[in-house]
Amino acid sequence: MAIRLNLIVEGQTEEAFVRQILSPHLANFCIWANARCILTSRRGGVKYRGGIGSYGQAKRDIEGWIKEDRKSDARFTTLFDVYGLPTDFPGYKEAKQRSDPYERAKTLEDALGEDISDRRFIPHFQLHEFEALLLSEPQKLDAQFDSTGIRRLVDMVARFDSPELINDGNNTAPSKRIIDAIPEYARMKLSAAPIVVEKIGLPKLRSQCKHFGAWLCRLETLNEE
């Protein structure tokens, strides 16, 4: 049976990643993936999407899509960053008390899954930020950028066991480190990030980022559940 996977994502970069890389990959497993950014507001009949201002925004969008698509072949998942997550998310306080980043992400996922309470929903949080995927092999940033800052990133990443452990400080989150080394990334993120991730490849991403890899494995095996 084919599965239709609906991904609620934080921003346009994640949406581009799903459409350009994740969706074609999952099609090999008869998983047809579609993504849309969080609906943040409506003004004058226009819908504005991208970024998470509060859990209420995210919950309305997740539950709204679930109600729109009640068919048994539909599944739903999220691609949200732990970095910058609004403090009113379920499990936030409990997660902050966890010293292990992987336990922190699991606490958030379990709490979100319990609050949404739909068997077709698979909550996922990216540790700590989407840009951790780019840092799986920062050398590949040369596909879009000509910068001596790439060497700085390579040396920085070598100090961590995984890019997922590069933390969520205001100046030390993955995107902040990339922008510090390569300032052009700030204005080229939407176009450059999916290209760099594609150059790195999913096998490298899943081997370097075990939390992301576990989520990808779960998505690949949805037909077996």
Q: What is the pLDDT of residue 195?
A: 94
Low-confidence winner among 4-8, 41-45, 158-162 (lowest mean pLDDT): 41-45
The residues that bridge with 9 in the sheet, in sequence order, are 37, 79
Total residues found in the chain within this entry: 225
User: What global pTM score does this model have?
Assistant: 0.93
Summarised one tens digit per residue, pLDDT across range 156-207 is 999 999 999 998 888 999 999 999 999 999 999 999 999 999 999 999 999 9
Instruction: Please state which CATH number belongs to domain 3-127+209-224.
Output: 3.40.50
User: Residue with structure tokens 């970024």?
Assistant: 51
Percent of the chain with pLDDT over 70: 95
CA gap 11, 72 in Å, rounded: 27
Tell me the pLDDT band of 23, cut-offs 50, 70 and 90.
very high
Q: Residue 9's pLDDT is what?
A: 96
- How is residue 6 written in tokens? 């609906």
Which of 42-50's residues contact partners 24+ apart within 8 Å by CB, and which partners? 50/10, 50/11, 50/12
Question: How far apart, in whole angstroms, are the C-alpha atoms of residue 19 and residue 217?
Answer: 18
Query: Would you list the domain boundaries of the chain?
Result: 3-127+209-224, 130-203
